[in-house]
Chain A
């Protein structure tokens, strides 16, 4: 008796499906994701903040104990990989897939299998339309010609005419959604083993370094910085040679900013550098006469134990690449980098007793003992660069690129291609034409008027275009 009451019971799966198939839900999800993205730009994210403290200590200190803990608990400190952000992303992906499946078949029917003979009343009531006198055996002949000239696809069937163009425009949203899904898949592929690699290597000029995660080596043929006249850096580059596992040179290439080196799906990016003092040309000078006895080359990165210079024997007692004084007042090196080299040398002259002396190649004038018979004068110091290269492998990248391409085609198709269609039938010696478009009504109205004018110039004058304001 009460048939409306016997609604088919929908199970959970159906209801979930309906939920994600709703454009209303999709809209809300988009706004939610937009809002959810804000927090991470205002709160310094883990791994990005300039502090060596672990997150559990950093956040309470930076944002206060209560708020800091709240940030940590909610995952706001790693907002874009937090459970709530990923959940939203998954929901959007589900919505993308389900909305597309839900609407695919109806759209396919409407766009690719149009009905050329719909109800006459439907055609008559379309927003854009006109009529013209039907003449002869082929009443649609001139109309079909005019439409074909405008690149319409014309179908004449059952005494009716149907014409349309710009079908791709209707598929645009789908194409966009497929592109977006590909981008999400490409980004998600990182989670699979072997797909993604991120490493960093330092390569000193002339050094050969194994590229992590790959089977080849990279040799630096020299790092180079170029400057503008203003002193601002113009380019950073590392001249490199790729060497395979068997020791064969594969290719020689320059890595520069915006110009990474790619080999076997691994890419090397110019990302950092530092300069060290390399080799110092030192003259041994007789203190009294000032005459140069001889010269030698001192490798500041890896000095030799013993040097023989003009009959003198120099033995390296201690080497401090970055000389300083430690807390106990003892000489020490502050780092392993050659910033301020200091040497302790035992000098054995050819005809006298050995003595020990300090020498600072960058500051040869600084002497702890100026009574020694010889002194050292630095003639020249070369610079050795160490280039920092980012090593990346991301097999998801091609998927991302294809996704971006597909998405771009999709959005342009959606908004720059309008689907325009006409239906026509004959009645009482008149051809009745009705037109429909999914976007850009104004331009379609003008086109319709132009066609009408072409077919019946007396009835349809090319009037002024639509006016936005009333007088």
Chain B
């Protein structure tokens, strides 16, 4: 059953990828020549079908994994991230049906693909649940939070499109820089996924001595250019290079700090190369490419889609990430709130989106400022999911 699930998962990934490619091709064609409109629209409708097929396949994959393992498949980073990717695509499918806005696909489907690919970086094997996770609140807390975050992701895509659309009329240098930086970060994330998946498939692994944080041997899945404190040059090799070249600064005390720093460095290098290649090929800044892709879509509608994403996601997120989380924490540890970093970041996310929702009813704050907040909101979501685990430790150590 687990094997079946992984085939279905692969099928879903291929479908999402096809959907993203079809949507992007559609936009490119539409821009080229009005004669291609009909062909482009056919591609767009195939893109939608591919997205629907992907959502169904992944739904089956989740069900198969659930049946095969006998436990809710929402207990580790792979399972969580892929579920979130699923909910992004699910909300995209729903919102697309509501709004008939195929252009959205070229921005949201790639986000879904990236999240699913990111999920595949983590170990995929089924692990038995530790005692604290054996609760009915696990599926409730995790699925609702992930559904909310999926809707926020769609909102992020639409807000980005809105900002790219309206910069033709009004902009300033800060917003221009921020937009370009958003694309650069996207390139780094893509760089990370390409590296991580490449080395995972290639089966690369290196073990290096570590003197920080109580873990004596640190296992790297990427070549250790930066080793931990205590590592010696030559402990690992990559393409004949004696690694690590340097070790992490001593003030970084976390057990995995050096590994994370190394990953960040390599991803930034890969991302910069990727960004540079696109920049050189296109001969314009990436934000300009984005603006061309968005074309003359109705900005009001984009703004509305971005708002709807948050309006749909906010109650789900409130229920999953705060209400169910608090009830579960009370049941498991006897305290509904402990200011654990993950918990606090969920609150920060919630406060931030609450701020957004109030902004929408304040005159003068509803347009571009709100769109920036909607875009930044999803960055906070991702930091809560990924960054908190890398930076700080807490009770929420499983995912």
- Residues in chain A within 8 A of chain B (CB atoms): 23-24, 26-27, 30-31, 33-34, 37-38, 40-42, 45, 80, 187, 198, 228, 230, 232-236, 256-260, 267, 269, 271, 390, 392, 397, 400-401, 404, 407-408, 411-412, 414-416, 439-443, 465-471
Contact = CB atoms under 8 A, between A and B. Distances in A.
Interface string B290-306: 00000111100110100
By CB atoms of chain B within 10 A, which of A24, A80, A233 has the most? A24
Interface in B351-399: 351-352, 354-355, 358-359, 361-362, 365, 388, 391-392
B348 A38 contact: yes
A451 to B, nearest CB: 19
Contact of B101 (A269, A439, A468): A468
B344 interface: yes
B99 A468 contact: yes
Interface of B: 34, 37, 98-104, 127-128, 130-132, 134-135, 137, 295-298, 301-302, 304, 308, 311-312, 314-315, 318-319, 322-323, 326-328, 330-337, 339, 341, 344-345, 347-348, 351-352, 354-355, 358-359, 361-362, 365, 388, 391-392
By CB atoms of chain B within 10 A, which of A34, A38, A397, A470 has the most? A34
A471 B296 CA distance: 9
A469 B337 contact: no
A233 B322 CA distance: 28
B102 A27 contact: no
B153 to A, nearest CB: 17
A23 B362 contact: yes
A80 B348 CA distance: 13
Nearest to B253: A62
Contact of B365 (A27, A257, A467, A471): A27
A412 B339 CA distance: 26
B236 to A, nearest CB: 29
Contacts of B322: 404
A257 B129 CA distance: 12
29 contacts: A23-B362, A26-B358, A27-B358, A27-B362, A31-B355, A41-B341, A80-B344, A228-B128, A233-B131, A235-B131, A256-B131, A258-B132, A260-B334, A269-B334, A271-B333, A390-B334, A400-B336, A404-B323, A404-B327, A411-B318, A415-B312, A415-B315, A443-B98, A466-B99, A468-B103, A468-B104, A468-B298, A469-B102, A470-B298
Given A235-B131, A407-B323, A33 B358 contact: no
B341 A468 contact: no
A258 B134 contact: yes
A30 B131 contact: no
B101 A469 contact: yes
Contact of A232 (B128, B297, B311, B355): B128
Given A232-B128, A466-B100, A411 B334 contact: no
Contact of A469 (B103, B336, B339, B388): B103
A416 B311 CA distance: 8
A258 B135 contact: yes
B357 to A, nearest CB: 9
A267 B335 CA distance: 11
Nearest to A99: B358
Nearest to A236: B131
Contacts of A198: 334
Nearest to B350: A34
Contact of B362 (A24, A259, A414): A24
Contact of B311 (A27, A33, A415): A415
B333 A31 contact: no
Contact of A37 (B132, B137, B301, B347): B347
Contact of B100 (A30, A230, A467): A467
Contacts of A443: 98
Given A401-B327, A415-B312, A467-B100, 18 more contacts: A31-B352, A34-B348, A34-B355, A37-B344, A41-B388, A235-B131, A257-B132, A258-B131, A258-B135, A260-B331, A260-B334, A411-B315, A412-B315, A415-B311, A416-B315, A468-B102, A469-B295, A471-B37
